[in-house]
Amino acid sequence: MRRRIALLVFLLAAAPAAAQTDEVVRAALYLTGADGPEALDDRLVDELESFRSRPLPLNRASRARLLESGLLTPYQVAALSEYRSLSGDVLSFAELERVDGFGKEAVAALRPFLSLESARRPGEAVRDTLTFRHSAVVRATLKDVGAKYRLAAGNVEAAGAWKGGNGTFYGLYRLPKGKMLVGDYNVRYGQGLAFWSAFQLAGLATLDAFSKRANGIAPSWSFNGTGTFRGLAWDYTGRRVQWALFGALDGTVGAHAGWLGRNGQAGLTATRERVSLDGRLGLRGVDLFGEAAWNGKSPAGIVGGLFPMRERWKGALQVRAVPSAYSGKKNGDYGAAAGVAFLSDSRAWKASLTVDAALVPRPAADTGRRQAKATGLLSWTATESWLFESRLVFRWRNYESDRADIRADATWSRGVWTVKGRLNGVGDGGFGLLGYLEGGWKPPGGFAWIRLTAHATSGWQSRIYVYERDAPGNFTAPAYYGTGWSAMAYAGWKKRFRKTSLKLYLRGSYRWQKEKPGVAGLKIQLQADH
């Protein structure tokens, strides 16, 4: 079996591949460090989607709002605030690339979600000015109907989302250096040991995933409210300090006190159940981070760093210890991870390799569960029209079969046309093979995509997840297993009427599987933004 896996890895790794995703997914990959869309979560994509219709005003937003957005790290916020106080507003994205902590890659990923509107002179105080804006979404499928609405006027904002009896809502009042909030919200501090509601990556596949981006308290406007808190929250962000209080209907009550510096930050987060101390320090290209926590029964900790190795090389390390007595899960997690990445001078070549090894024992049971995961990524921009990328993931566990997962994509694009193909193979005691071919047409004011997928696997264990395009605020990455095929068509149209934009999305699909009857899907979504 190992020889067959090695042969499969060799044959597929020799084939280059390309990854081209939409703007929201591309930003989510940058913010989380995930190695592909299949590792993402619909809640995160839903959060980011709101910034596409209503971009974050970099030159008008307060420091508190910049941190709350989750789009920027504390270092980027501190550097941007200092730059604006000395040089005035940022007037172009080329200028933003030259601000400390940004660069071409960050600006390219975040550009669709940022606004550079300016009406301020150098040295003038920053004021978070929000004009009257609203957004409405209606979504219908063969199974349910959902609707969203959000209104912002000055310092007041309110929003609600509903689908099939589930949903979220919030009301928010922005203070000069903070906010008061009632309704649904997320709490994210440190490295996730104390509070990190909603989405977390399951592994460390890229260097950007080694540390988390903590954005404190942020409202939730999502059809899926899983993992969020519902209650009251308040926070304050000054030049050097940060304070927050929050309480939820489930009995959760907490507080946070933080210090913000130009090259670092520290925070203390506490509730009735646990307390944690976290910190970050950035010096000469080295980013150190860590968090220590205690829940009255057990300690837990994470520490690590990202650092330059050579001119085009970067490395990362992380060590963690999270006993089950702390996390409340049936298994603990004691692990270490290391990674290295390379970027060519021309940015045509990118490569990275990460290895994550862990011991996951169960209390009062076996202590011999060991696992390791290695992820290799290689991308090549051959020409202006051709993009290539390959990914190899090998997972070893002493209590399950080894698993090798190799993916190869190739994308050609010119003008309004795009064609993309994928080949994905899995070996894990069984086998899995999936391939698809899709084409896209994107003229001004609309787009259309069609995809055909075929798959054959030895069962659920060898399933393969595949990201598929969907209407904004949706996220689709179904699992393919067994033998079968599927077809998907997706189209959109948009029109602007004075200050209001209207967008219509249609998505149809059909999936046939040898082991099950065929399944059809239809989705219609109408969105209006003012």
Is 524 domain-assigned? yes
d(Cα 84, Cα 120) in Å, to the nearest integer?
Answer: 10
How crowded is the C-beta side of 262, counted as CA atoms within 13 Å?
7
Contact 66, 58 (CB under 8 A): yes
Residue with tokens 């669709």: 112
- 261 three-class SS: coil
Q: Is residue 423 part of a domain?
A: yes
Tokens of 496: 């602007």
Q: Is residue 489 part of a domain?
A: yes
Per DSSP, 346 falls in state T
Would you state the pLDDT for residue 120? 53
Which residues, including other chains, have CB under 8 Å from residue 425's CB and lie 6 or more apart? 8, 12, 405, 406, 407, 431, 432, 433, 434
For residues 276 and 189, the answer to whether their CB atoms sit within 8 Å is yes
Rounded Cα distance, 444 and 113, in Å:
20
Burial zone of 134 (CB within 10 Å; 0-12 exposed, 13-18 middle, 19+ buried): middle
Buried b (16+ CB within 10 A) or exposed e, 481-507: bbebbbebebebeeeeeeeeeebebeb
11 phi and psi angles, rounded to 5 deg: -65, -45
**Two structure tokens written together for 354:** 């990460």
Q: What is the DSSP annotation of 52-109?
A: HHS-EETTTS-HHHHHHHSSS-HHHHHHHHHHHHHH----SHHHHHTSTT--HHHHHH
Instruction: Report the distance separating Cα 428 and Cα 483, nearest Å.
Output: 17
Rounded Cα distance between 396 and 402, Å, is 5
Q: pTM here?
A: 0.85
Quote the domain boundaries for residue 525: 384-530
Residue whose tokens read 């390219």 = 108
pLDDT computed for residue 215 by the predictor:
85
CA–CA separation, 305 vs 317, rounded Å?
Answer: 5
In a domain, 72, yes or no: no
Element at 168 (helix H, strand E): strand 166-175
Residue 58, exposed/middle/buried by CB under 10 A (0-12, 13-18, 19+)?
Answer: buried
What's the total number of domains in the chain?
Answer: 1
**pLDDT tens per residue, the chain (530 residues)?**
444 444 333 333 333 333 334 788 888 888 888 888 888 877 778 778 878 878 888 888 888 888 888 888 777 888 888 888 888 889 889 999 888 878 888 888 888 889 888 755 554 544 544 467 888 999 999 888 999 999 988 889 999 999 877 889 999 998 888 899 999 999 999 998 988 886 777 778 899 899 988 888 999 888 877 778 999 999 998 888 999 999 999 999 999 999 988 788 899 999 988 999 999 988 878 899 999 999 999 999 999 999 998 888 999 999 999 999 998 888 889 999 999 999 888 879 999 999 999 998 877 665 678 999 999 999 999 999 999 999 999 999 988 899 999 999 999 999 999 999 999 999 998 999 999 999 999 998 899 999 999 999 999 999 999 999 998 888 889 999 999 999 999 999 998 887 788 999 999 999 999 878 889 999 999 999 88
Q: Maximum CA pair distance of the chain? A: 68
- Return the pLDDT at 127: 52
- Residue 363: the pLDDT is 75
- Between helices 23-32 and 42-53, what is the axis angle to 10°? 120
Buried b (16+ CB within 10 A) or exposed e, 221-239: bbbbbeebbbbbbbbebee
The residue count of the chain comes to: 530
Letter string b/e over residues 447-480, b meaning 16 or more CB atoms within 10 A of that residue's CB? bebebebebbbbeeebbbebbbbbbbbbbbbbeb
| 304 neighbors 321 (Cβ within 8 angstroms) | no
Collect contacts of 447-451 with beta carbons under 8 A, ≥24 apart. 447/491, 447/492, 448/489, 448/490, 448/491, 448/492, 449/488, 449/489, 449/490, 449/491, 450/487, 450/488, 450/489, 450/490, 451/487, 451/488, 451/489
